[in-house]
Structure formats: C-alpha cells, structure tokens
Structure 1
Amino acid sequence: MTRHRSRLGDDCVLDEPENVGYLHDESADPAIIGNRARVRKGTIIYADVEIGDDFVTGHNALVREQTTIGDGVIVGTDTVIDGTTDIGSHVSLQTGVYVPTDTTIGDNVFVGPRAVMTNDPYPVRRDVDLVGPTLEDGVSVGANATILPEVRIGEGAFVAAGATVTEDVPADTLALGSPARHHDLPETLSGENTLYE
C-alpha cells in the first residue's frame, strides 16, 4: 500500500496518514513501516525511514530521514529522533526523549522520560563532526538523564535518573550523579530488560 511516499504493512492504524512519508527531498525513498503499526495523531515520519513490525508512537513524535528502526519499538509522545540514526528492536523511548543525528541504539533498550542525548561537543562554537552516543544492547536510561556526544553505554549498563554521562560506561555498570560516576551494578538492577514480553 502506498500513501504519501510511504509503504505500509498489514493492519496499520495511522491517525494522520498524510504525516507519514513527509517529503524532505524529491528524490527520497518512501517511508517503509512494517505490520501492525499504531501511529498516533501529530506524529510525523519522514521519507527515507525504515521501520519494522509492531511500531507504536505516542502523540506528536518526530522521526526524521535516514533512520532505521527494528521491530517492537515504542516512540513516546513528544519524542524526537533527529535522523541518520539506527535503533534496534524492542526499544522503548518514553515521553519527551531527544535522540540526535548519528546515534546508535541497540536491542532491548529503555530510555526514560525526558532523557536527552547530544551530538555536538562545542555547540555553535566550533565546526566539528556531529557524533551521537551509542547505547548497546540491554541498556536502561532513567528519566532526565543527559548523555554527551560519542559516549558509549556498555551492554546491560544502567544510567540513573538525572545523571549526566560525560564518559563511556562499561558493560553491566551503574552510572550515577552529575557528572556520572561508575559503580557496581546492584543486584536489584542486574539482569535483562523485559521489553521482549
């Protein structure tokens, strides 16, 4: 099925179909969305986006061009994915999350409300390549956390609410505070995220 530069799978529900496949460039490929998507009112998905099955958004989310998203992903209300980004499967981006260009998010990742990732180490002061952070598989990020450019959050790590992450976080580590310090992951936070259920 083709709609406004988009190709949709089966059983998709789009509140505003004209907002899917937003044409930012006449040569852009259609937005591709898999089966059983639920895209709520106010959400805009650009052309040149590819999304898997069982995709769900809140209201007023934005997914910009050259983004790939796996299966079973939730993009919450007012969340912005600014493009040129890869997101794995079974990822939950809660309300108001900001994902800058050139960010990588693995599988089974949770990002809490109003968490912010950045990609510019010298905003409007120097001309540098923009590189967002990398969140490896199984990462959890608490509400209102900030993750700076090029930071890598290791597999299974947990970033506490309100933390400011300025350097890489090893796998299976707790990052806590501002600037974040690394701690052993408490037993209560160990184990996998349960986003596959």
Structure 2
Amino acid sequence: MAKRYAVILAAGQGTRMKSKLYKVLHPVMGRPMVQHVIDQLNPVNLDKMITIVGHGAEKVAEHIGNESEMVLQGEQLGTGHAVIQAEDLLKNKDGTTIVVCGDTPLITSETYRSLFDHHEQEGAKATVLTAKAPDPSGYGRVVRNDQNEVERIVEHKDAEDAERQVDEINTGTYCFDNKALFEALQHVSNDNVQGEYYLPDVIEILQSRDEKVSAFQTPDFEETLGINDRVALAHAEKILKKRINEKHMRNGATLIDPDNTYISPDVTIEQDVLIHPGSIIKGSTTIKADAEIGPHTEIDNCYIGQASIIKQSVAKDSYIGDRVQIGPYSHIRPEASIGNEAKIGNFVEVKKSSLGNKSKVSHLSYIGDAEVGSNVNIGCGTITVNYDGKNKYLTTIEDDAFIGCNSNLVAPVTVGEGSYVAAGSTITKDVPEDALSIARARQANKEGYASRIRNQKKD
C-alpha cells in the first residue's frame, strides 16, 4: 500500500472571527475545530501528519501535543506557500499527500478514506474533493472539459461571469502524488488579484504537463463547510450536534428533543438511556443503560451508573454509581464518588467526597472533603466545615451513622459507626461508635420577654 501523508493548513489568523482566540481553536461541540480534523484523519492510518501553523502557534501546540508535527509559516502568503513549508519533511517521499484546511471540522474519516482510495485507484497526480453548492459564491469553481475531466480551478475573485455560474466548488481538500506536488509548487506564481500563491494552481500546472487530474465529489456539501466567522461556527455546531445525536438514537438512546440536547463527541451512551431536553453532556462521559438524564442537566466528564437518575443538576469529573438519584438542583463537583443506590437531593453540593452505598443527603447540605460510609443519613442543612481559611481537612462519617438537621461537622473529625448526632449540633470532637452526640447550647425560655420587646419598639 502506498504511503499516506497529511498537511493541515492552520496558519491563518481568522480576522473575520473577530476574536482573540486563534481561529482553528474555536470549539465545535466542545472540541477545537482543528482537533476534529486530526481526529477524522487518524483512522486513515497516515504515515505522517503535519500541521502548518502561524498566528497563535504556541496555543495550537498546547492543544495538539504530539498528535501532529508542526511547521511554522512565518508570513501568510497563500495556501500554496503554506504547503511548501512542509517541503523539508515530505519533498522526496513516495506516496500520497492529502491537504486539508484546519477550519473544516465536519469532513468525516469515511470521506477522507474514499478520497484517498479514489485518487490511488485512478492513478492521478492530483484529486480534488468537490461538492455541489446551493450558493457557490465565494468558492473556487471546478471547471471541467468536454470529457468531464477537471481542467482548472478558478478562484471566485478571478472567475469570469460564465465560470461563476458553475455550482461545483473546490472544497479546499486535495490528494496529490507527493513528489509531483512539491515539484509543481516551485512553479506556482502569485500573479493574481490577491498577490498570493494559490495551491489550486498546482492543478493547472499538472494539467499543462498532461498529468491526470481527477475529482471526487462528496454528496454532502455541508460536510465540507469551512468556518470563517461566528455565523458559520454556529451552523457547524448545529450540523455536528445533529450528527452526534442521531448516532446515539440509532444506538438505542432516547432523546426526547434532540434539537435541544447537546452531547460532545467523546460521550458514550448505552441502550435505553433517556435524555430530557436542555441537557448538556460533555467530556469523556459514560452513561450506562437505563439511566435518565435531565431536564436541564449538565454533565461533564463523569461516569453515570446503570438506572441512575439525574434531574436539573450539574455534575463534573465524578463517579456516580448504579441506581443513584440526584436532584433536582444538586451540584456534584470534581472528585466526588457516589455509591450505588445513594440519594443526593435538592440544593445539595458534594465536592471531593465519597458517599457509600445507600447513603442519603436529601436537602440543603454541603459535603466537602468527606468520606461517608454506607447507609448514612445526613439531615437537612448539614455542613462539613472543611476549611479554616488556609487548609482543608477531612470529615469521616462511618457506616449507619445518622446526622441530624442543621449540624456542623468541624473537620478534622470522625463520626463513628452507628452513632447519632443531634439536630443543631456543632461537632468539634470525634464521636464514638454507637453514641449520641449533642453539642448545642441549653435552651432557656424567658416568659413574657417578647411582649417587652414589642412595647419597646412602639415607644
């Protein structure tokens, strides 16, 4: 099999985005658009991938890491000039090179693979990925000869009136014979309206040498959309959201309102999961079978166990076991671990804490930096007082303990197995197992005192 290489063009500043963020780092469904390109190219089994960077190169390097080699284009003088920056890494290699724009996050690995296969089967020196555009304005036109072969590609600004009527457009993605590409680039001129070195001019150079130039037309124009402004970014987000949601529904999940459900690409959802409208599911989240999410719930990078229910709540970087009930209006913060059949009720916040099987925190409580055993009941208004202004400390509540309402557990402190903490207590010392701990002021009733207060207010 021929060697395969990729050059990703990601050096443009993206001024039309009107943003401090480098264009190809703008996220689509939570992932930078250039990362989508890399992720879809990876299944093609490339021998080398090179990303041409310019503005914001350091930021791109932070996101890409070791997934692609990077070459700096110090001055942006057109797509042909960008590709030639990879010359030192590719020039003398045999094989096929695909050139892709870093702002086209919707092209799938299946399309990339089909383009490679078509190019190699045709024995072409160049193959253009084309599409039929409903409105081709602004795109380079693919001009064919009488034999329906690609004759040339004309940029919109340089096209004559007849050429502007052509609706087959150049998507900006190509496959080339690698050696032929870099040899032809030496002859590309910048004699055009923009004064730039256009990569499509390589097509005409190869044509003039009677080399075979082919075209592979994708049936899905929207897949090839490039993102140049915020309007196009929102449109791409909508397309990818629909693609992701349809995949999950075909795999057996129920999305009641897919138009108002947002699921990132790395999410795994098993069969018979029910997702209500307004749910946002991000990161490397896994949702096991028969779980129910939403409405209006945000989950980021969590494991959600089988048949668990999360309503109107937020969960991030946490583990949630089987048959757990969370919400409404709960906040599961990072490093929380919720055991099987546990319950986290309304207006409860859990942070960096473990909660054992069948334990309950039903209302209006804060559990932070705590280890809570199994079958523990934590009453309404309970707080683990974990922070002294400088350091954070651990609260331990052992199995079968009962914590009364409005209790403050001042860490570091341990409440022993099977013990009771009376409502309204502030616990500052360890509670032995099977004990009742009461830590509150003795009640004193002053009869008639309320009337004295009311009379003073009248005076």
Show CA shifts across 1:50-75 (max 9, x none).
11101102211000111111100100
SS in 1 for 2:363: coil
1:64 has 2:343 as partner? no
1:45 has 2:45 as partner? no
In the TM superposition, what is the alpha-carbon distance from 1:179 to its structure 2 partner? 7.0
1:14 has 2:305 as partner? no
Give the 5 Å matches for 1:119-138.
119-120=386-387, 122=388, 124=389, 127-128=390-391, 130-138=392-400
Equivalent of residue 358 in structure 2, options 90, 95, 117:
90
- 8 Å CA contact 1:165–1:179 kept in 2: the answer is no
In the TM superposition, what is the alpha-carbon distance from 1:18 to its structure 2 partner? 5.5
Show CA shifts across 1:106-129 (max 9, x none).
111000111111112x3x3xx33x
The residue type equivalent to 1:94 in the other structure is S
Equivalent of residue 4 in structure 1, options 263, 266, 282:
282
Show CA shifts across 1:89-146 (max 9, x none).
111001101111x2110111000111111112x3x3xx33x11310001110011111
Aligned length: 163
Show CA shifts across 1:5-34 (max 9, x none).
21111111111476011xxxxxxxx30010
- 8 Å CA contact 2:297–2:311 kept in 1: the answer is no
SS in 2 for 1:53: coil
Equivalent of residue 344 in structure 2, options 63, 72, 75:
75
- 8 Å CA contact 2:292–2:307 kept in 1: the answer is yes
Larger RCO (CA within 8 A; separation ≥ 6): 1
- 8 Å CA contact 2:378–2:403 kept in 1: the answer is yes
Match of 1:116 in 2: 383
Compared CA separation, residues 178 and 169, structure 1 to 2 (3 A): same
CA–CA separation in structure 1 for the residues paired with 2:418 and 2:309:
28
Is the helix fraction higher in 1 or 2? 2
Compared CA separation, residues 179 and 171, structure 1 to 2 (3 A): farther
Q: Which segments of 5 or more consecutive residues in structure 1 lack a partner in the other structure?
A: 22-29, 181-197
| Percent of paired sites with the same residue | 25
SS in 2 for 1:94: strand
SS in 2 for 1:104: strand
Q: Give TM-score scaled by structure 1 length.
A: 0.78
1:104 has 2:368 as partner? no
Compared CA separation, residues 79 and 18, structure 1 to 2 (3 A): closer
Q: Give TM-score scaled by structure 2 length.
A: 0.34
- What value does the CA root-mean-square deviation take over the aligned residues? 1.7
- 8 Å CA contact 1:164–1:179 kept in 2: the answer is no
Match of 1:156 in 2: 418
The residue type equivalent to 1:151 in the other structure is V
CA–CA separation in structure 2 for the residues paired with 1:37 and 1:107:
17
Q: Which segments of 5 or more consecutive residues in structure 2 lack a partner in the other structure?
A: 1-267, 270-280, 443-459
